[in-house]
């Protein structure tokens, strides 16, 4: 369902803050030297993977050492960081870091975004005086134009670098960073996902939606809900992985375990799952690509090859952030995440659930299935679907959100919901997948989901086609009838 998060710091639109002593509204007494001074430190993992190698003295490196090296590399790679004050660079590395400054008067500044970076030790001095590492990373060249807050994204490469750390009286310092090889990535069009017709529901349990889902994870309710979904003749669900829960080291393992449990419960019922990532995260800055890539890889690693996994939806309604974050930035981020996922897990089908059919052509070459949402007037939906099919070519097209709220000021509009859903479904016969929003109503809707307006929250609470007691509303019957015909088309029953 749609999300209207206004990200408080649209940092890429704030590059003018590079200038010395720029101030922010609300904290006029505070000065910032660099863009990244604005970024609140969090406890998420550094956006780099460490890969141990069986080389002499490898056992002498502690986990703390490895983390320190990765943090120093992240600092080095992070454009705009106040790295010079941190005194962690020496010699050639310090010189290179200095070249990365963007003086306020500059017409443009060139940076490099690194993501999906893997670090391995190549030489460990037996006395731990010197450590040499090699890095394999995806690299995107970025040009900032401070005057008009514009960002341009250049070619994408695979880059191999060597890095050398030296132990000094003040601890480890990064002494050398050198590129040893660089290759341009030319990503070929993704192949169509091979899939039977899928019909399902966007799913949260009634008792634990959005932020609460993975924390509460009411397994008994989930199993009961999936039985209901199966009884409705559906064969799929679309779920949402909240970024914060799965990226936070304190909750990550719990989240991944529960995600696999959910896939298992679905697999027992032969229900396929679209896993939607980066939910409730509207931060597309290239400075975060490394960490986002780690988050992506962490989840993909946990679910790859699971028989219940149908596809990964990289970002729910990313197009709704075009205005706040900038279309180019959102698309560059999405493209980078696609590249990152493909690079490591090429067999996981990818899609992006655009909020509108008119956006369905975006990045369609790189996606394995095309998906969009439709909350417009049902009249014309068939035509919109046809247009998307035309764009998608031989790739399957899923309409991953349709539905209608029963909410009205005077009384519940269950019949109107059913009629409208029926009107939508009757036009989706040529779709390869249809997902209704949603199984249940929700008692609470956070302001981070649909904004502060009370009527929006009320609308959002009342999309369920089944009551919290499991009783089917008229819309559920329409959906079941649709499924009995729609799914049999593909299977040839």
Does residue 492 interact with other proteins by CB under 8 A?
A: no
Site for other proteins in 363-402 (CB under 8 A): 368, 394, 396
* Window contacting other proteins (CB under 8 A); options: 160-168, 242-250, 287-295, 441-449: 160-168
Distance between terminal CA atoms of the chain?
Answer: 32
Does residue 429 interact with other proteins by CB under 8 A?
A: no
The Cβ of residue 190 has, within 10 Å, a number of other Cβ atoms equal to 20
* Window contacting other proteins (CB under 8 A); options: 174-182, 234-242, 276-284, 371-379: 174-182
For other proteins, the closer CB: 56 or 104: 56
The distance of closest approach from Cβ of residue 150 to other proteins in the complex, given in angstroms and rounded to an integer, is 25
For other proteins, the closer CB: 265 or 385: 385
For other proteins, the closer CB: 190 or 277: 190
The distance of closest approach from Cβ of residue 319 to other proteins in the complex, given in angstroms and rounded to an integer, is 25
Let me know if 19 is exposed, middle or buried by CB neighbors in 10 A (0-12, 13-18, 19+): middle
Closest to 201 (Cα-Cα) out of 484, 485, 483: 483
Reading the block at residue 429, the tokens are 């016969």
Neighbouring residues of 107: CB distance < 8 A, sequence distance ≥ 6? 145, 147
Reading the block at residue 112, the tokens are 């490099």
Around 339, how many Cα atoms within 13 Å sit in the side-chain half-sphere?
24
The distance of closest approach from Cβ of residue 311 to other proteins in the complex, given in angstroms and rounded to an integer, is 11
Rounded CA separation 358/388 (Å): 8
Does residue 346 interact with other proteins by CB under 8 A?
A: yes
Does residue 419 interact with other proteins by CB under 8 A?
A: no
The answer to whether the beta carbons of residues 433 and 483 sit under 8 Å apart is no
Exactly one of 108, 179, 447, 488 binds other proteins (CB under 8 A); that residue is 179
Does residue 403 interact with other proteins by CB under 8 A?
A: no
Exactly one of 16, 91, 152, 453 binds other proteins (CB under 8 A); that residue is 91
Rounded CA separation 71/68 (Å): 5
Question: Phi first, then psi: what are they for 279, rounded to 5°?
Answer: -75, 145
Q: DSSP readout, 35-81?
A: GGGGSPP--SPPSEEE-----TTGGGS-HHHHHHHHHHHHHHHSTT-
Exactly one of 71, 136, 150, 162 binds other proteins (CB under 8 A); that residue is 162
For other proteins, the closer CB: 30 or 129: 129
Rounded CA separation 92/287 (Å): 23
Site for other proteins in 31-60 (CB under 8 A): 56
Neighbouring residues of 178: CB distance < 8 A, sequence distance ≥ 6? 92, 161, 162, 163
Please give the size of the binding site for other proteins, defined by CB under 8 A.
Answer: 45
Please tell me whether the peptide bond between 438 and the residue prior to it is cis, using omega within 30 degrees of 0: yes
Site for other proteins in 180-209 (CB under 8 A): 180-194
The Cβ of residue 43 has, within 10 Å, a number of other Cβ atoms equal to 8
Rounded CA separation 196/493 (Å): 12
From residue 222 to residue 261, the character string flagging contacts with other proteins as x (rule: CB under 8 A) and all else as - is ----------------------------------------
Q: DSSP readout, 252-270?
A: HHHHHHHHHHHHHHHHHTT
For other proteins, the closer CB: 147 or 191: 191
The distance of closest approach from Cβ of residue 129 to other proteins in the complex, given in angstroms and rounded to an integer, is 5
* Window contacting other proteins (CB under 8 A); options: 13-21, 45-53, 66-74, 344-352: 344-352
The distance of closest approach from Cβ of residue 108 to other proteins in the complex, given in angstroms and rounded to an integer, is 21
Exactly one of 37, 65, 100, 134 binds other proteins (CB under 8 A); that residue is 134
Does residue 127 interact with other proteins by CB under 8 A?
A: yes
Binding region for other proteins (CB under 8 A): 56, 91-92, 95, 122-123, 125-127, 129-130, 132, 134, 155, 157-158, 162, 164, 166, 176, 178-194, 342-343, 346-347, 349, 368, 394, 396
């Amino acid at each position: 369902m749609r999300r209207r998060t206004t990200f408080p710091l649209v940092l890429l639109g704030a590059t003018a803050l590079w200038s010395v002593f720029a101030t922010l509204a609300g904290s006029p007494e505070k000065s910032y030297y660099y863009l990244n001074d604005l970024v609140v430190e969090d406890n998420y993992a550094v956006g780099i993977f460490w890969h141990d190698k069986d080389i002499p003295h490898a056992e002498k490196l502690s986990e703390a050492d490895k983390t320190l090296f990765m943090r120093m590399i992240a600092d080095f790679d992070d454009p705009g960081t106040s790295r010079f004050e941190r005194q962690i660079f020496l010699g050639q590395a310090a010189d290179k870091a200095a070249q990365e400054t963007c003086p306020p008067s500059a017409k443009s500044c060139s940076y490099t975004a690194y993501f999906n970076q893997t670090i391995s030790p190549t030489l460990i001095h037996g006395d731990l005086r010197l450590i040499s590492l090699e890095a394999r990373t995806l690299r995107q060249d970025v040009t900032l134009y401070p005057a008009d807050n514009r960002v341009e994204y250049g070619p994408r490469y695979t880059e191999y670098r060597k890095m050398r750390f030296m132990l000094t009286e003040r601890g480890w310092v990064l002494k050398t960073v050198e590129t040893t090889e660089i290759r341009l990535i030319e990503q070929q069009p993704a192949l169509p996902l091979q899939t039977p017709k899928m019909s399902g529901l966007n799913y949260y349990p009634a008792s634990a939606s959005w932020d609460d889902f993975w924390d509460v994870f009411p397994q008994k309710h989930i199993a009961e809900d999936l039985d209901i979904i199966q009884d409705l003749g559906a064969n799929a669900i679309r779920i949402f992985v909240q970024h914060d829960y799965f990226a936070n080291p304190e909750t990550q393992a719990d989240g991944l375990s529960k995600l696999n449990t959910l896939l298992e419960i679905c697999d027992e019922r032969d229900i396929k799952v679209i896993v939607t990532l980066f939910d409730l995260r509207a931060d597309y800055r290239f400075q975060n690509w490394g960490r986002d890539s780690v988050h992506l890889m962490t989840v993909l690693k946990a679910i790859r090859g699971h028989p219940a996994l149908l596809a990964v939806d990289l970002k729910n309604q990313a197009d709704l952030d075009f205005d706040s974050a900038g279309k180019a930035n959102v698309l560059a981020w999405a493209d980078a995440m696609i590249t990152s996922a493909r690079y490591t897990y090429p067999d996981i089908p990818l899609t992006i659930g655009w909020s509108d059919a008119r956006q369905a052509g975006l990045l369609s070459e790189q996606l394995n299935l095309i998906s969009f949402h439709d909350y417009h007037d049902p009249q014309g939906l068939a035509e919109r679907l046809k247009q998307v099919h035309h764009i998608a070519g031989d790739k399957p097209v899923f309409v991953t959100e349709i539905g209608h709220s029963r909410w009205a000021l005077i009384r519940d509009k269950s019949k109107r919901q059913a009629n409208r859903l029926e009107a939508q479904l009757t036009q989706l016969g040529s779709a390869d997948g249809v997902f209704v929003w949603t199984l249940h109503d929700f008692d609470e809707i956070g302001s981070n989901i649909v904004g502060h307006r009370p009527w929006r929250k009320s609308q959002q609470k009342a999309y369920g086609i089944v009551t919290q007691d499991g009783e089917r509303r008229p819309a559920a019957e329409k959906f079941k009838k649709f499924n009995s015909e729609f799914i049999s088309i593909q299977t040839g029953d």
